[in-house]
Each structure stands twice: as structure tokens, then as C-alpha cells.
Amino acid sequence: MNDERKKALNLLKTSKGQIEGIIRMLEDDRYCVDISKQILAVQGLLKRSNLNILDGHIKSCVKEAILEGQGDEKIDEIINVLDKYIK
């Protein structure tokens, strides 16, 4: 497992813990704005995790494909992911 995947895994584990906390907040009927802030925090962690995965992919798979003269398909994959990321 490369460093970027390790970083993503740690962020996802942190997200999991925060989601469990949000569920408890809902069950305990906590203040809506506090819950919303926690949801936004988890979304941020998920976005960073995704960027770590993409970073590793670009530095390995995409780089290798470009060096082998087959980069267009990998670049298109990244563009499609980024398009979804923006929406």
C-alpha cells in the first residue's frame, strides 16, 4: 500500500468514527446546527481522502500509462472523476 492510500485509509477511518458520532448526536436529539457542522467536517475528510487516492493514481498508473504511450485513456478517467467531484 502506497503512502497516498495509507493517508486515505486513515482519513476514512476518522470519517467512520465521526459518522458514528453524528449518528449518536441524532439519536440524542442534539442541536441541528451542531450536527450539520459535523456532517460538513466528514464531507471534508471524504474529499481529502478522494484526493489522496487520485494523487496516488496519477503518480503511478497515469504516469506509467503516459510513459508507455497510452496516457489518453487514463487522463480521460481522471477528467471524468474530477467532473463528478465538481458537481
**Would the pTM count as exceeding 0.75?**
yes
- The string of pLDDT tens digits covering residues 44-58 is 999 999 999 999 999
Predicted confidence (pLDDT) per residue in 52-78, tens digit: 999 999 999 999 999 999 999 999 999
What's the distance, Cα to Cα, between the start and end of the chain in Å? 29
Question: Are residues 62 and 71 in contact, defined by beta-carbon separation less than 8 angstroms?
Answer: yes
Distance CA(78)–CA(68), nearest Å, equals: 17
Decide if pLDDT at 87 tops 80. Answer: no
Which pLDDT belongs to residue 84? Answer: 87
- Reported as a single tens digit per residue, the pLDDT across 16-51 is 999 999 999 999 999 999 999 999 999 999 999 999
Q: Are 15 and 45 in contact (CB under 8 A)?
A: yes
